Amino acid sequence: MDQQDIEILTDTLANLRLQADINLAPKFPHFAGKPYPLGRCLEIRDEMFTLITAELKSNTQRLAILKNYMRTKRTELKKVWGSLRDEYFQNAILVGDWYIDTANDTVNANKPRVEIKPISQSGFTAISHFGQFVKIARSYWQVDIYRNTAFPAIAPYLPLICVNEQGATWLAAANDDMIKVATESKFLLSEDILKQLPEPTESIVSRWQNTLLTLHEPDELLLKTGSPQAYCKKYRDTEKAADIVFRDKVVRAYMSLPKGA
């Protein structure tokens, strides 16, 4: 695609984004006290991916430039999440050599809705270790981050406890990308960040453990005690990193918890 193609495609997607906003704004009017679209890059990216995919399958010529590019390059649209210049977490779309940000205004609402750049110029990268995640989260989310000693048996997969300025707390990083960082390193990267981070206060740990009282039958993994670092070594020694069944068990245990404590 040349520059003229990119300008036309950007305008077309910006118009399509208006439909996404109509669909989403009533459902998500606020995020952490901020009005839509701020903080809604995931929801917007997913809605735009759905709209773009439907448009590509239709008989209209609205996205002919994108359709022709995908056919020529034999490539598909791909949802991605990662770091934007190590300043923000970002949900975007990749296609061939291009980075498509359909939620470009979710940090600064005055920016254009859509931005398209060559991937090499976008500043977008995958997150390769937990230290990178922590650095971005601390500044972007304005949070303190502690090692997950509340639920040590799932800490090799979810090693972080975040606490924001209002005192709300949640486990991180609960997405496939960061769980993959943990497992592909055989929990060495999890163990490394667990060693670096401070202990959470007793109050934070108690709040999380008290959430178990709200569950009818708490998952056995959530009831285990011990050192999260020791669980990293144990799971490495027993080759849990390659065990998809066990990974899914950990995810189910996490999903059984409230989203915050």
Give pLDDT tens digits for 103-149.
Answer: 999 989 999 999 999 999 999 999 999 999 999 999 999 999 999 99
Q: Answer positive or negative: Cα dihedral of 232, 238, 241, 245.
A: negative
In residues, how long is the chain? 261
Rg (CA), the chain: 21
The pLDDT of residue 60 is above 90: no
Please state the rounded mean pLDDT for residues 24-32: 90
pLDDT on residue 259: 87
Q: Is the pLDDT of residue 155 over 80?
A: yes
Give the pLDDT score at 129: 97
**Average pLDDT for residues 231-240, to the nearest whole number?**
98
How much is the mean pLDDT over the chain?
Answer: 95
Q: What is the mean pLDDT of residues 50-79?
A: 94
Record the tokens describing residue 109, joined without a space: 């609402």
Q: Is the peptide bond before 173 cis (omega within 30 degrees of 0)?
A: yes
Question: For 190-201, how does the pLDDT look when each residue is reduced to its tens digit (9 = 90+)?
Answer: 999 999 999 999
Residue 244 is predicted with a pLDDT of: 97
Which uninterrupted H or E stretch holds 88? strand 88-95
**Confidence band (pLDDT; 50, 70, 90) for 34?**
confident
d(CA 205, CA 69): 52
CB neighbour list of residue 144: distance below 8 Å, 6 or more residues apart: 138, 162, 163
* Rounded distance between C-alpha atoms, residue 20 and residue 98, angstroms: 21
The region, left, alpha or beta by phi > 0 then psi within -120 to 50, assigned to residue 192 is alpha
pLDDT exceeds cutoff 80 at 252? yes
